[in-house]
Structure 1
């Protein structure tokens, strides 16, 4: 793994009357030769505790950033305190889609997260540094990213989720800067084929990965999520799948986050690390 350096900024956020705390970090990415901000949310009692904590990585959607989960989700601090794990709010640029771009060497967000950010977090914080103590989820672009990274790195993540995820972006060839990361779908169809989650289900073997996927019935991604669910059923891939009334918006995701963090808490509990 590549060496990662960090500058810890003096920025603390407290949620309601409880003591969940946010550190804003700058983690230097050797792969992309730049510093990238990250928010780390630790639960009440973290500082005084001698134990290690499970970790949930959260990925924002298109046009979001490292602070999305802190600024836009009013209950995230309460949830961190409730479950007693660490949450990492990752920055994936506004449109990285969380993979290493095959056409733009300045976008290597898979390498950054797996080889640079996670090792840094495990070194800096009191984490359970194993797949049994690590989960990942995200919304929209981040939902695709969470499944993409977990499918490809099942030695790193034991559980993963997607909220309104763009799990198949081929029906949207001109949207959300995807062609800037992969090239156009007509010129580089193999890039789209290899980097779309719905085409990667062969990687999910032996049902080692615990999965939760949800999408609102009025979301523009509902059809691709239903298609992913159908394919997973056909392949006998265990997963929780939820459809609820809702659109592609913060109201839906605030509710989704509660379901997904509960799912991850159950995963950590089943692995006897809490």
Structure 2
């Protein structure tokens, strides 16, 4: 009888130890005249306190949507409890690249992310509503988007990361609908130059934005990530850079997000002091 009771107690504990809550929040984008879904993962402690929580914006890759990260990495529920933060997974469209397209006025995801989504999340949830309480990262297209947004809006995000990010899009002029977002490289070169992350390093000031960049050495984006790392070194911009065996896949990103959460946790705790 005691053994059965112990088994029952352990079963109940396993069901409640990570009791994060998952919301789907639809945000109206006036800039694109449409509603956009976003997944929000709240820590267990959120329901029991009036404290304000830091927020990590976690971006999906090309062809994905707001549900990808949690579906592929269900451990995110445990992470929000362990680090006591909120994770927001926006829907960035299949191939938006998270910028305002200069050739398609229906694709304004920079405006959505930096203005419409941020203000909505801060109004709905108890958040640390300044850059000390915000970080942003993502994979592949989302890695590009996270750094692009953070480099351009250092007043909004205090820390940013990239996992296998397309941090220089110019070597890929025919891929992932980029010509639809920017025009062809041959005819609209300036659009490509102005919307690629590596060309925005000049906007950075030393230590104003905490940065972590992570890419596998077998990834097709490895060389562009390495060049970004070298450019940051040339500019004396502090950053964490990780390269290790790995490809452009979920096995790599499941591992990478664990390292990045440690990095962002340190940022949030430093900001709290």
1:199 aligned onto 2:199: yes
Q: Is the 8 A contact 1:101 1:108 kept in 2?
A: yes
Give runs of ≥4 in structure 1 deviating > 6 Å. Answer: none
Q: Deviations over 1:42-87 (max 9, x none)?
A: 0012012111000000010000101111111121111111000000
Q: Report the counterpart of residue 233 of structure 2 in structure 1.
A: 233
Q: Is the 8 A contact 1:136 1:161 kept in 2?
A: yes
Q: Report the counterpart of residue 122 of structure 2 in structure 1.
A: 122
Aligned length: 260
Q: Deviations over 1:72-119 (max 9, x none)?
A: 112111111100000000110000000000000000000011110000
Q: Deviations over 1:227-248 (max 9, x none)?
A: 1011110110110000011000
Q: Is the 8 A contact 1:15 1:21 kept in 2?
A: no
Q: Is the 8 A contact 2:206 2:238 kept in 1?
A: no
Q: Is the 8 A contact 2:142 2:165 kept in 1?
A: yes
CA distance in 2: counterparts of 1:259 and 1:154, whole angstroms: 22
1:143 aligned onto 2:143: yes
Q: Deviations over 1:160-214 (max 9, x none)?
A: 0000000001111000001110000000000000000001100011320000001
Q: Report the counterpart of residue 7 of structure 1 in structure 2.
A: none
1:61 aligned onto 2:64: no
CA distance in 2: counterparts of 1:263 and 1:246, whole angstroms: 20
Map 1:6-21 onto structure 2 (within 5 A): 17-21=17-21
Q: Deviations over 1:11-53 (max 9, x none)?
A: xxx9874111110011110000000000010001201211100
Q: Report the counterpart of residue 11 of structure 1 in structure 2.
A: none
Q: CA deviation at 1:271?
A: 1.1
Q: Is the 8 A contact 2:57 2:90 kept in 1?
A: yes
Q: Report the counterpart of residue 4 of structure 2 in structure 1.
A: none
Q: CA deviation at 1:150?
A: 0.2
Quick check: which one's helix share is greater? 2
Map 1:81-160 onto structure 2 (within 5 A): 81-160=81-160
TM-score (norm 2): 0.93
CA distance in 2: counterparts of 1:80 and 1:245, whole angstroms: 27
CA distance in 1: counterparts of 2:15 and 2:213, whole angstroms: 27
1:222 aligned onto 2:222: yes
Q: Report the counterpart of residue 8 of structure 1 in structure 2.
A: none
Q: Is the 8 A contact 1:100 1:108 kept in 2?
A: yes
3-state SS of paired residue (1:53): coil
3-state SS of paired residue (1:41): strand
Q: Is the 8 A contact 1:53 1:133 kept in 2?
A: yes
Q: Report the counterpart of residue 23 of structure 2 in structure 1.
A: 23
Q: Is the 8 A contact 1:59 1:143 kept in 2?
A: yes
Q: Is the 8 A contact 1:15 1:77 kept in 2?
A: no
Larger radius of gyration: 2
Q: Give the alignment's Cα RMSD to 1 decimal.
A: 1.2
